[in-house]
Amino acid sequence: MEVSGEEYPPTLVRRIVSKSVFVLQLVIIAMVLGGDTVRQYFTFVPRTWFAYVDQKKWIFAILTFMIGNMIQSMCSATGAFEVFVDDKLVFIFNLDMVYVTKRSSSSN
């Protein structure tokens, strides 16, 4: 009996969300650590928020990094797997659905 494993790819929506979270994460970290040079391009953000973030910039950067990575890993982890016995699919587990297929009861 041969057992092998490989990664089950996430859905397209989850991949897009994961990439979007990464880009948003980089933008927020650039805003936090960039100082006045970067902040002049983000005029829609209130100055009071920037003043508060300036006092705790490393905390905000690390928090953004940790929360962003947590969301990305939740989006990219499917938890899905399939079980094959003698090249026949006998079990599929996916977060959205569970299928169990019956093995044929033929005598070998």
| pTM attached to this predicted model | 0.66
Note the pLDDT of residue 33: 86
- Sequence-separated (6 or more) residues with CB below 8 Å from residue 81: 5, 8, 92, 93
Give the tokens for residue 71.
């969301």
Q: Which amino acid is at 75?
A: C
Using DSSP's 3-state secondary structure scheme, residue 24 falls into: helix
The 10s digit of each residue's pLDDT in 49-69 is 888 888 899 999 999 999 999
Mean pLDDT of 70-95: 77
Measured distance CA(34)–CA(28) in Å, rounded: 10
Note the pLDDT of residue 102: 52
Give the tokens for residue 96.
């959205």
